[in-house]
Chain A
Amino acid sequence: MSREPKNSFPVPRGPHPQSEGRGCGRKKDCLREAQKNEQRDGPTEPRGTYTVTCPERECREREAQKNEQRDGPTEPRGTCTVTCPERERREREAQKNEQRDGSTEPRSTYTVTCPERERREREAQKNEHSDGPTDPRGTCTLMCPERERREREAQKRLHRFEMMPGMEKDRWPRADPTRTVKEYSRPAAGKDATRPHDLRPPSVLLKTVCYLINAIALSPSLQPWTEVYDFVFDRLRSVRQDMIIQRVSGPECAAVLERIVRFLLYASYRLCEEPLRLYDPRINDTHLQESLSWLLSCYCVGHHPHQEEFQALSLLYNLGSTRALQHALELPEEVRAAPAVRLALSVNRAHLERNPVRLLRLARRLDFLQSCALHRHLEACRRHLLLLYSYGHSSRNCRFPLRELARLLALEDAQAASLCRACGVSVTGDRVSFSKASYVEPPPGERQSTRSYELVDRKQGDHSLALVLHGSP
């Protein structure tokens, strides 16, 4: 019974095949040489010397990967046509010379007056000083870069809106190139997000946004809308990311951002009644504010036809913000005189003067999207009205007609009654009794957001949602 020790490692027998005839393995040799150079010259940065669009090696690798996916892994194929590879021959020769003559200085082999590398570097530096560092420019013409589409398809990470129709239930659905959209990926150290193949130029980004709105957000057949929202939200985030990397600005940037802002505003209203696990208004708000402030800073340069619309939307969405109001007051005369901006300013003034009756009355004059923007502030305005009236009408014999109150609040009678009850205002039959002692602010957890027929829904009317989201031309 042979007693072999457990966990015994196979002991290498004989010399290493590659070091046959040489005293030392090739890798060690190269390493030593590099170390020697480093000691002498200092660490050198790797310098790019590729003169083609894609490094030779990467091209070959990709090709190999592609072949591998198709045919299965292939064995490496030899291409050396002489008995000894050129590189090894030169190295051995250099080593032999070194041993004989001592280490030799690197020999200059440049035949022009200035090394190519240095000339290119200087040129790049000069361009940098005059134009600013050059921004990455995207070259991807599809909504999703090929590499990502293939990757996600292989890893089964496609969204069901991106699969070939009919394959959603398959075990391995294929990607539909006309429906796959680049997803948002968090920037991370080591992840190069600036490869031109992966970036979409502004024209493609605009097409992508239009596709997302027309084919996804407005589609009557895709349900539930919370899932539609999640998908569109994520893909729009990736669009913004591409724009940031390429430092897009000007009218192209504005065109994309305008649609994004309209979509997020509409979504903030449409999903306001959804539970937190399906829709988080705060996340929507963060991204909406980012996009809105980026859009407004685009407007600072040049002329933009839709500027008034969005200045007004910003004022309404940011009701009560002194910063937004101050910004609006500093706008040029023509913009401030536009009807949309004037109306938005009046709404803000009514809020500043603490006149909720006036505010709610002015709110009736807003159009659908403006009402969506204002909507999140309506609850607080209504509560404020009840607070003021609790003090102003506080008397023992107070009997305020419920119908009147509902009209002021722009609510149905029943809704007005339930709001009163939530605020401690007593309602008996069709009369409300205000009393300053009884008003209470409902705790934040119990404040349920609800859609508003009178002030919002009614206004959509005959306008198609497409017109709302794309804006008038």
Chain B
Amino acid sequence: MAHITLNQYLQQALEAIENRDGSFCAELLSFKHPHVANPRLQLPSPEEKCQQLLEPPYDEMVAAHLRCTFAVSNHDFVEAYRCQTVVVQSFLKAFQAHKEENWALPMMFAVALDLRIFANNAEQQLQKKGKGKVGDMLEKAADQLMACFRVCASDNRAGIEDSKKWGMLFLINQLFKIYFKISKLHLCKPLIRAIDSSNLKDEYSIAQRVTYKYYVGRKAMFDSDFKPAEEYLSFAFQHCHRSCQKNKRMILIYLLPVKMLLGHMPTLLLLKKYDLMQFADVTRAVSEGNLLLLNEALAKHETFFIRCGIFLILEKLKVITYRNLFKKVYQLLKTYQLPLDAFLVALKMMQVEDVDIDEVQCILANLIYMGHIKGYISHQHQKLVVSKQNPFPPLSTVS
């Protein structure tokens, strides 16, 4: 593959198209395939040759692809992105003309993936030069992908095996990746709706479904819907193939905070296995009610947590930590009428700065409101009166 001539390459492409061999044709257009390193194919203007052998719009598509390999060999990703745009556009012309057949889907996957990757690289290149607005090229790439998506989604005539709707989930995953990168999560909603209302949603390949659930789970997390987030991310984690360690780790980074908020702490073994020891201190602090350790752990790994976007969610664990701390106070004092002072002392021991009795009352009131404590505060007696039955319900039972 790395040594064929232009003619041989074009012949192969022509044959693949004529035989409707989508997978092979996809390889000929994909940048994961070794042919892109072949200098005989890296041409700045192969249009004439392509026009001789291939029919429009395939000639344009292949010509743009070859121009793209040329640009990549010069490390000009901006130009590569532009060429790839032409590839996608000409592909779409051909794709739309395929009535009631979907053999070209693998080609669509290949060119769509390369489009997103080049958009990323091009933006990074521009950022280094100090030009270009962040997210500009990615947004344009997203528009292109949406055009492909519309072609797939509106294919109502073909039967199930020939329907283009099988391409929808892949494109949606690519769009999710872009929207998360440019922080426009609200654009994910219509896509999620489209899949929810589709009858193919459980028939797609497991790999695509895992990716889909991962992103939907993350979105639910940012919308503070922790129960659905836990469902989606758990599904993704369980069904992710065990050989994809990196992916499993990524899922876990988001699954752990959600589970912790719902009261399930991860084992040290799990954290070691996936190299997520940053969570170890956090876990220990929360289950012991150790606010001091929690603050220290959050501060120590702040950069990591902020980069992943989970810092704010981990801060919500403070409420759980308070609950665990106060439960210890209750267990120590062995009485149902706990003086508020005791809690204040506990907090001061944890070196929580500038907290006073008013704030203690507020923290307790919040825990009561959320259902973590069953009882009430008596301001006159400055005591927390707890229920004789199960005053600190288990975390998993509280919403």
- Chain A interface (Cβ < 8 Å from any Cβ of B): 322-323, 325-326, 329-330, 349, 352-358, 361, 385, 387-389, 391-395, 397-401, 404, 408
What CA separation (Å) do A429 and B376 show in the bound complex? 23
Across the interface, which residues of B come within 8 angstroms of A398, CB to CB?
376, 378-379
- Chain B interface (Cβ < 8 Å from any Cβ of A): 183, 222, 306, 309, 311-312, 315-316, 318-319, 355, 358-359, 361-366, 368-369, 376-380, 385
What CA separation (Å) do A404 and B222 show in the bound complex? 37
Interchain CB contact under 8 A, B312 and A400: no
Nearest-Cβ distance from residue B68 to partner chain A, whole angstroms: 21
Contact of A356 among B183, B315, B362 (CB under 8 A): B362
Nearest-Cβ distance from residue A299 to partner chain B, whole angstroms: 14
Across the interface, which residues of B come within 8 angstroms of A391, CB to CB?
365, 368-369
What CA separation (Å) do A393 and B318 show in the bound complex? 22
Contact of A392 among B316, B319, B366 (CB under 8 A): B366
Contact of B376 among A322, A392, A399 (CB under 8 A): A392
In the complex, besides A322-B312, A392-B362, 8 extra interface pairs with C-beta distance below 8 angstroms are: A353-B366, A357-B359, A361-B359, A385-B362, A389-B365, A392-B377, A398-B376, A398-B378
Contact of A326 among B312, B318, B355, B378 (CB under 8 A): B312
A-B complex: 7 closest residue pairs judged by Cβ atoms? A392-B365, A357-B362, A391-B369, A388-B365, A395-B376, A392-B368, A329-B306
Across the interface, which residues of B come within 8 angstroms of A325, CB to CB?
312
Nearest-Cβ distance from residue A365 to partner chain B, whole angstroms: 11
Interchain CB contact under 8 A, B316 and A358: no
| Nearest-CB residue, chain A, relative to B223 | A322
Across the interface, which residues of A come within 8 angstroms of B380, CB to CB?
397, 399
| Nearest-CB residue, chain A, relative to B373 | A392
What CA separation (Å) do A400 and B309 show in the bound complex? 41
What CA separation (Å) do A400 and B319 show in the bound complex? 25
Interchain CB contact under 8 A, B379 and A393: yes
Interchain CB contact under 8 A, B222 and A322: yes
Contact of B315 among A349, A387, A395, A400 (CB under 8 A): A349
What CA separation (Å) do A311 and B378 show in the bound complex? 41
A353-B319, A355-B363 known; A330 vs B306 contact (CB < 8 Å): yes
Across the interface, which residues of A come within 8 angstroms of B362, CB to CB?
355-358, 385, 388, 392
Nearest-Cβ distance from residue B286 to partner chain A, whole angstroms: 14
Interchain CB contact under 8 A, A355 and B376: no
Contact of B311 among A329, A389, A404 (CB under 8 A): A329
Interchain CB contact under 8 A, B315 and A353: yes
Across the interface, which residues of B come within 8 angstroms of A392, CB to CB?
361-362, 364-366, 368-369, 376-377
| Nearest-CB residue, chain B, relative to A436 | B369
What CA separation (Å) do A352 and B359 show in the bound complex? 15
Across the interface, which residues of A come within 8 angstroms of B385, CB to CB?
395
Q: List 13 A-B contacts (CB under 8 A).
A: A352-B312, A352-B315, A353-B316, A358-B355, A361-B358, A388-B362, A388-B369, A392-B361, A392-B366, A392-B369, A394-B376, A395-B376, A408-B358
Across the interface, which residues of B come within 8 angstroms of A388, CB to CB?
362, 365-366, 369
Contact of A393 among B183, B316, B366, B376 (CB under 8 A): B376
What CA separation (Å) do A399 and B379 show in the bound complex? 8
What CA separation (Å) do A408 and B222 show in the bound complex? 31
Across the interface, which residues of B come within 8 angstroms of A352, CB to CB?
312, 315-316
Nearest-Cβ distance from residue B362 to partner chain A, whole angstroms: 4
Across the interface, which residues of A come within 8 angstroms of B361, CB to CB?
357, 392
Nearest-Cβ distance from residue B306 to partner chain A, whole angstroms: 5
Nearest-Cβ distance from residue B167 to partner chain A, whole angstroms: 32
A326-B309, A393-B379, A395-B378 known; A355 vs B366 contact (CB < 8 Å): yes
What CA separation (Å) do A388 and B306 show in the bound complex? 30
Across the interface, which residues of B come within 8 angstroms of A389, CB to CB?
365
What CA separation (Å) do A397 and B380 show in the bound complex? 10
| Nearest-CB residue, chain B, relative to A349 | B315
Across the interface, which residues of B come within 8 angstroms of A322, CB to CB?
222, 312
Across the interface, which residues of B come within 8 angstroms of A330, CB to CB?
306
Across the interface, which residues of A come within 8 angstroms of B376, CB to CB?
392-395, 398
Nearest-Cβ distance from residue A387 to partner chain B, whole angstroms: 7
| Nearest-CB residue, chain A, relative to B367 | A392
Across the interface, which residues of A come within 8 angstroms of B359, CB to CB?
355, 357-358, 361
A330-B306, A357-B358, A358-B359 known; A393 vs B365 contact (CB < 8 Å): yes
Across the interface, which residues of A come within 8 angstroms of B378, CB to CB?
393, 395, 397-398
